[in-house]
Structure 1
């Protein structure tokens, strides 16, 4: 059955500052570029992938292109893999939101995309990947919130509590009974010696 490897993009300055990125196009920083290179090296030594898809936002696309060069695969962008919109919250830190909106800021809407809307985009991508690549292996380079909500929708029986780390790999395989997680939030390529 089809396997999808969900990859979160490398780190950005906004990640380090804890700023909500959402659909704001924030580039990788040098650490993120190195994470992408390390991941690409890792994936060269693991079972082969048949296709790479990516969000069109530069932090994911650069991560995917680094992997694609190493694996000799072209990268196809798919806007369904874009991060979820965080509305007017984008660009702010939790501390700034606390100062601007008070301690209950997390209950406010900010025009954010709802979790089920992001999950619907991610699951639609997964369904198309299954149709296009039956029995094959597809990488999807995307973003933390989009991947997290998609995983919850694909396999609600799994424990998805851990926050997805930058350049983490989560491997999902479609079996007769549904999606099964083979690997979750793995960053062994950047955890060496840690």
Structure 2
């Protein structure tokens, strides 16, 4: 079984300098272009049999563009949404730094931001949804997941059984990762592939990789 993990394209929040997380911004025009380029590459090189997507607009919009290129089924999961950042969702970064500054040394992994989830909650959610996907879709040869930077990083940590908070896996806009589950080992075929964007020098694929 192969798991193709894809981050959404650029969203409007990227242009507004706000905390995104659970704030539900759609793709920008550039984000749609990125998604179409990603979809063309995936359809040609490693088309999935089914697409599983976050319900947030920036991910679901990316997933629908991919579905148009592939023609396969798509299913939406709330569990694939980005980190629940509570009161910070949609708030400007300047305002957030004043109203909700990070504690000295950072926020402990078990303590959530107000009205949100903790880093520990996010890791548990990633563990749960990954195991659910592996169990429920084990008869598929290749499954695509369209999600968000923070959740994707936690899916990788869950896949590798890494300790919480020790390793971060950044992903660019429409970055593609391909994992494989075999009977005895877990294989990484590639991480954060962005070749599909290389034809447009105007694309800034390194900005805000963990949204």
Query: Normalising to structure 2: TM-score of the pair?
Result: 0.80
User: 1:192: how far off?
Assistant: 2.9
The 3 A distance-change label for structure 1 pair 14 and 127 is: same
What residue is the counterpart of 2:131 in the other structure?
Answer: 127
**Cα distance in 2 for residues equivalent to 1:139 and 1:163:** 18
1:138 to 139, 143, 152: 143
Question: What do residues 127-147 of structure 1 show as CA deviations (whole Å, max 9, x unaligned)?
Answer: 232222335100000111111
Q: Please list, as runs of the form range in 1=range in 2, the aligned pairs for 1:33-48 lying within 5 A after superposition.
A: 33-48=32-47
Where in structure 1 do 4 or more consecutive aligned residues deviate above 6 Å?
Answer: none
Instruction: Please state if 1:85 is matched with 2:84.
Output: yes
Q: Which runs of 5+ in 2 are unaligned?
A: 202-211
Query: Normalising to structure 1: TM-score of the pair?
Result: 0.87
3-state secondary structure, aligned to 2:179: strand
User: Which region of structure 1 is more displaced relative to structure 2, 92-101 or 182-191?
Assistant: 92-101
User: Which region of structure 1 is more displaced relative to structure 2, 131-140 or 66-75?
Assistant: 131-140
User: 1:58: how far off?
Assistant: 1.1
Q: Please list, as runs of the form range in 1=range in 2, the aligned pairs for 1:91-102 lying within 5 A after superposition.
A: 91-102=90-101
User: 1:110: how far off?
Assistant: 3.2
What residue is the counterpart of 2:61 in the other structure?
Answer: 62
Question: What do residues 43-81 of structure 1 show as CA deviations (whole Å, max 9, x unaligned)?
Answer: 111033111010111111110010001001121101111
User: Which region of structure 1 is more displaced relative to structure 2, 103-112 or 117-126?
Assistant: 103-112
**Cα distance in 2 for residues equivalent to 1:50 and 1:80:** 20
**Cα distance in 1 for residues equivalent to 2:80 and 2:185:** 21
RMSD: 2.4
